[in-house]
Amino acid sequence: MIPALAHISDGSPRGRRNRRSLARRTADTIRHAVSEVLENDEIASGPELMQQLDPRIKLVSIVLFAVTASFAQSIWVLLAFVVATAGLAAASGISIGSFSRKVWASAGFFGLLLSLPAATAWISPGPVLVPLGPLSITSSGLLIAARLTTRVAAGAGFGMLVVWTTRWTDILQALTAMRMPDIVVATLAMTQQQIMSLLRTVENIHLARESRMLTSGTAKDNRLWVTERMAFIVKKSVKTADDVYDAMLARGFSGAMPSLVRLRAATRDWLWLAASVASCAALLGVDRVLMPR
């Protein structure tokens, strides 16, 4: 190898097979996020249990489950809600492993993080399980932390069921039918479209840099480049939002988001809603009467 070209060869893609650059890692992360969104659209179009429900009935029932879980105090009833979300996910064609991993990696982790102070003797006095001085973990505090974590996980699970089993356009249409303000629905619709567009833009920017770089660059150069691209994306998002809004006004946009699809609730939808109300009432009754706190 020619010494003068050694540094170029070492930095080439062939020499970096086992070491991905910052641009490559970022592009792969963005591609993974976009593919997950597209995969969710495929799942939402399936013929499984929750996909066949009317979006309005689905939203009402899921909100009912989430609100009931927020009122539950027994850890066993809260665990029943968590198991119910996993069961509904399985019945809707969603991988239980993927579903549980996403719920607990986000909502479960942050719920545990926020509830950890409540598990200490400093906030929740009681029998000490793990002696750590003023930060000793007590049995009553551990129960409080477990209750809060499972409640957050249950609520997040019900929310993810709606997102994974309902097309975004159907969610917007359901919100419109439920008298949600037009400005809110329009904002949600435009936000989702712009996020997808900007994700593609960021991915293309990083792939373009990767294809033109012979070396991975220093950490300082990478941080500077990422900062500059962040500023570029912010400016682009603001300009795109203004351009899109002006184009919509020029085409007669009045604030409403019309749809050619008409939602109709079938018998199975009303049966689902009745079963949801009965299940929530039964679980809340068990929580208040039978289960220990």
- pLDDT for res 3: 40
Rounded Cα distance, 105 and 149, in Å: 12
Strand partners, 138: 128
The length of the chain, given as a count of residues: 293
For residue 275, what pLDDT band results from cuts at 50, 70 and 90? very high
pLDDT in tens, 160-173: 888 888 888 788 88
Asked if residue 50 lies in contact with residue 90, where contact means CB atoms within 8 angstroms, the answer is no
DSSP codes of every residue in 268-286? HHHHHHHHHHHHHHHHHHH
- pLDDT for res 189: 76
The residues, any chain, with a CB within 8 Å of residue 59's CB and separated by 6 or more, are: 162, 171, 174, 175, 178
Rounded Cα distance, 222 and 46, in Å: 42
For residue 1, what pLDDT band results from cuts at 50, 70 and 90? very low
The residues, any chain, with a CB within 8 Å of residue 198's CB and separated by 6 or more, are: 233, 236, 237
- pLDDT for res 278: 93
For residue 11, what pLDDT band results from cuts at 50, 70 and 90? very low
Q: Give percent above pLDDT 90 in the chain.
A: 6
Average pLDDT of the segment spanning 137-153: 83
Range of weakest confidence among 227-231, 266-270, 274-278: 227-231
- pLDDT for res 277: 93
Integer angstrom CA distances of residue 7 from 2, 18, 215, 244: 10, 17, 8, 47
Rounded Cα distance, 103 and 109, in Å: 9
- pLDDT for res 21: 63
pLDDT in tens, 73-120: 888 888 999 999 999 988 888 888 888 888 887 777 777 777 777 777
- pLDDT for res 211: 77
- pLDDT for res 271: 92
* Helices and strands in the chain, H and E counts: 11, 2
The residues, any chain, with a CB within 8 Å of residue 21's CB and separated by 6 or more, are: 210, 213, 216, 217, 222
Q: What is the mean pLDDT of the chain?
A: 77
Rounded Cα distance, 288 and 86, in Å: 24
pLDDT in tens, 170-227: 888 888 877 777 777 777 777 777 777 777 787 788 778 777 776 666 777 777 877 8
Which string of b and e fits 206-226 if b means at least 16 CB within 10 Å? Answer: bbebbeebeebbeeeebeebe
| Domain locations in the chain as residue ranges | 49-166+267-293, 179-262
- The verdict on pTM exceeding 0.75 is no
Q: Residue 191: exposed, middle, or buried by beta-carbon count in 10 A (0-12, 13-18, 19+)?
A: exposed
Q: Residue 228: exposed, middle, or buried by beta-carbon count in 10 A (0-12, 13-18, 19+)?
A: exposed
Range of weakest confidence among 15-19, 135-139, 208-212, 259-263: 15-19
Integer angstrom CA distances of residue 67 from 60, 63, 64, 158, 166: 11, 6, 5, 10, 20
pLDDT in tens, 238-262: 888 778 778 877 877 766 666 656 7
- pLDDT for res 147: 85
- pLDDT for res 216: 67
| The pair of three-digit structure tokens given for residue 52, joined into one six-digit string | 């066949």
Strand partners, 128: 138
Rounded Cα distance, 58 and 44, in Å: 13
Average pLDDT of the segment spanning 121-140: 75
